[in-house]
Amino acid sequence: MTMTFRRKAMGAAMALALGAGFSMPAAAEPESTDPIKIALFDWTSVNLNATILSKILKSYGYNTELVTSDYLASIQTGLRTGDLTIGMEYWDTTAREAMADADASGETENLGPIGPKAKEEWWFPEYMKETCPGLPNWEALKGCAEAFSTPETAPKGRYLGGPVTWGGFDDERVEALDLPFEVVHAGTDAAMFAELESAYQRKAPIILWIYTPHWAPAKYKGEWVQFPEWTPECYSDPAWGSNPDKAYDCGKPHGEIYKYSWKGFAEKWPVAHKIAKNMKFTDDEMNALIGQVDLDKKSLDDVADAWIAANGDKIKQWAQ
């Protein structure tokens, strides 16, 4: 946390700038020097986004703070009370409920999507196609479950699901699609990817939940299982899909990743708000950045600095 020193005459400068109707040039006096608190969570892309935003805002003279927080707790406590100003990534796939809750409270603002699409689905390494040639079609799983089994699950296959806190309805999916699989939940994604790494080293059978943007699809060769495409009705209406009696007979939803802020953000720091709102990346851009951090082991700061240096024009547009 940086110590802050209030500068005097801020009000006057702000009035001048706004009154004259100019868009704010770089390194201008900010509207308020109170720290803008940007949340850090525990995966790479969000911390990259947060670091990049923090550095951009600093170049505009704002005082920012990067605050380590918990993903879902942040949108349910910090952003509502103003303890946090912005959280850079809330995924449609995992935070849908929490976002709906936050929208209903009226205490937060949805700043729009950050760009890359969130995808989560069952995933298998390429070499599994040899033992189970029908993949990636999901129906192949019915025939070669045994190839994915371990002694305690045999003859059923073993599917490594995400932490229970992620939801995802895999237990329901297995039942609705009548897949001969047992769902084992990992407690954290660190544990999940540790198992993937282990299996991949031995070219051993594994099928698990993977999500992007993430470094794993870049590091390991493999494919998503193709389930019947998700629609809202599939989850809500049992009649939909191949199983007339059960819902969840389809794949997982994919969707956007949203930025959320405390509702007072726009009023207190208008230009910063504009930058945050306009900030956007493409899928490829984000995956490349993540790769630099997680696979090439560069520091977040270095990667963020390099990106900012190369994209000055884009940043200027965001502030317009």
Residues at the interface with other proteins (CB under 8 A): 1-5, 27, 30, 33, 37, 39, 42-44, 58, 61-63, 65, 67-74, 76-78, 81, 83-84, 150-152, 160, 163-165, 184-195, 197-198, 201-202, 204, 215, 293-294, 297
177: Cβ contacts below 8 Å, ≥ 6 apart:
138, 227, 242, 243, 249
Among 108, 156, 120, 111, which Cα is nearest to 252's?
Answer: 120
Nearer to other proteins, 213 or 241 (CB): 213
| Residue whose CB is less far from other proteins, 109 or 149 | 149
Are 163 and 186 in contact by the 8 Å Cβ rule? The answer is yes
Question: 18 or 73: whose CB is closer to other proteins?
Answer: 73
Whole-number Å distance between alpha carbons of 289 and 194:
22
Least distance between other proteins and beta carbon 193 (Å)? 5
Q: Which is nearer to other proteins, 17 or 250 (CB)?
A: 17
Q: Which is nearer to other proteins, 105 or 242 (CB)?
A: 105
Nearest approach, Cβ of residue 37 and other proteins (Å)? 7
Confirm if 119 and 211 have CB atoms less than 8 A apart: yes
Least Å distance, CB 152 to other proteins, is: 5
Q: What token pair was written down for 37?
A: 């608190």
Minimum CB separation of residue 202 from other proteins in Å reads 6
Q: How far is the CB of 39 from other proteins (least distance, A)?
A: 7
Return the number of the residue (71 or 90) whose C-beta is nearest other proteins: 71
Distances (CA, A) of 310 to 6, 61, 138, 306: 32, 20, 42, 6
Shortest Cβ 6–other proteins spacing (Å): 10
CB of 318 to other proteins, least distance (A): 19
Report which of 91, 98, 18 is spatially closest to residue 269, judged by C-alpha positions: 18
DSSP conformational letter for 117: P
150 vs 236, beta carbon nearer other proteins = 150
- SS3 assignment for 185-237: ECCCHHHHHHHHHHHHHHCCCCCEEEEECCCHHHHCCEEECECCCCCHHHHHC
Rounded-to-integer distance, Cα 294 and Cα 197, Å? 14
